[in-house]
């Protein structure tokens, strides 16, 4: 399958994997996916495994992501991790505004925008997550929610920075539930997101931004999702925790 934008498949390990478990998984991924050049691959382990995973994937085609970072650069922020600390481990990507953080840590769009700005200032590529709740979809508010989240979370970024941002559309009702968005639901949300991106940064930039789909992606649905014109990759949670299932998603996406 050919698409102008290179697909990007990311494994979001969330709060899973000790260092030993992380190394087991990444060693397997390196072996199984060594020949994959058609798409960009990254894993986002917990902070505690970044150092070892970073060493393990040196000289491989797997890149490193973090699951969150502070909007601040240093200082009295107990428990936080800043961009320069991530860069010490050659982290290239950082997931921001995941729906779990929006829900449980009460992260709002303006905070996510400040984090995205801090990420770009440090040359980290943010993966900015947006997505509607089931109630919002059922009430016909999906587009309004996506537009508010996207405009709010990308506020203050230049068109050049928006081009280097990855957007992850993750309908909250599909995350960890086994219920995937139908391909036409995913495609229409992605096309809408691209339209908003065009109004923020111009058509040319919007055409280059990669928009990942996330929410119960599996080997069995990856191919159909990835074949949609505006779906440029996947942000994978549960199925990224096991070698077989993540490998299958990657192979079925090529
Ligand atoms: P899931 O999670 O693949 O387990 O649905 C996706 C995500 O939260 O990024």
| 170 Cβ closer than 6 Å to some ligand 1 atom | yes
**Catalytic status, residue 143:** no
Of 134, 177, 186, 216, best ligand 1 pocket probe by most atoms within 8 Å of the beta carbon = 216
* Residues 65-115 pLDDT 10s: 999 999 999 999 999 999 999 999 999 999 999 999 999 999 999 999 999
Q: Which of 107, 164, 170, 190 is catalytic?
A: 170
Q: Which atom of ligand 1 is nearest to the CA of 236?
A: 3
- In the predicted model, is pLDDT for residue 37 greater than 50? yes
- Going from the C-alpha of 10 to that of each of 38, 65, 187, 213, the distances in angstroms are 14, 8, 19, 10
Listing DSSP states for 23-57 in one string gives HHHHHHHHHHTTT--SSEEEEE--HHHHHHHHHHT
pLDDT of residue 158: 98
Compute the distance from residue 234 Cα to the ligand 1 centre, in Å: 9
Residue 81: the pLDDT is 98
- Per residue in 180-207, pLDDT (tens digit) is 889 999 999 999 999 999 999 999 999 9
Whether this prediction's pTM lies above 0.95 is answered by: yes
Nearest residue by C-alpha to atom 1 in ligand 1: 237
User: What pLDDT digit, counting tens, does each position of 117-171 carry?
Assistant: 999 999 999 999 999 999 999 999 999 999 999 999 999 999 999 999 999 999 9
Is 12's C-beta closer than 6 angstroms to any atom of ligand 1?
Answer: yes
Q: Whose CA is nearest to atom 3 of ligand 1?
A: 237
């Amino acid at each position: 399958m050919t698409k102008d934008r290179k697909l990007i498949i990311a494994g979001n390990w969330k709060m899973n994997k000790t260092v030993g478990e992380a190394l087991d998984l990444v060693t397997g991924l390196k072996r199984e996916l060594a020949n994959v050049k058609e798409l960009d691959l990254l894993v986002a382990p917990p902070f505690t495994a970044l150092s070892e995973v970073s060493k393990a994937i040196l000289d491989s085609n797997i890149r490193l992501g973090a699951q969150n970072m502070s909007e601040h650069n240093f200082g009295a922020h107990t428990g936080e991790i800043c961009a320069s600390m991530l860069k010490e481990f050659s982290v290239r990507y950082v997931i921001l505004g995941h729906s779990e953080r929006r829900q449980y840590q009460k992260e709002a769009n303006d905070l996510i925008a400040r984090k995205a700005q801090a990420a770009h200032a440090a040359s980290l590529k943010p993966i900015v997550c947006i997505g509607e709740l089931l109630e919002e979809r059922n009430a016909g508010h999906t587009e309004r929610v996506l537009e508010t989240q996207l405009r709010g979370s990308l506020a203050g970024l230049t068109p050049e920075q928006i081009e280097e941002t990855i957007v992850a559309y993750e309908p909250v009702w599909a995350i960890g539930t086994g219920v995937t968005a139908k391909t036409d639901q995913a495609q229409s949300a992605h096309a809408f997101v691209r339209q908003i991106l065009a109004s923020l940064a111009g058509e040319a930039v919007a055409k280059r931004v990669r928009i990942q789909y996330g929410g119960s992606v599996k080997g069995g649905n990856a191919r159909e999702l990835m074949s949609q014109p505006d779906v440029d990759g996947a942000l994978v949670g549960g199925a990224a925790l096991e070698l077989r299932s993540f490998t299958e998603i990657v192979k079925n996406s090529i």
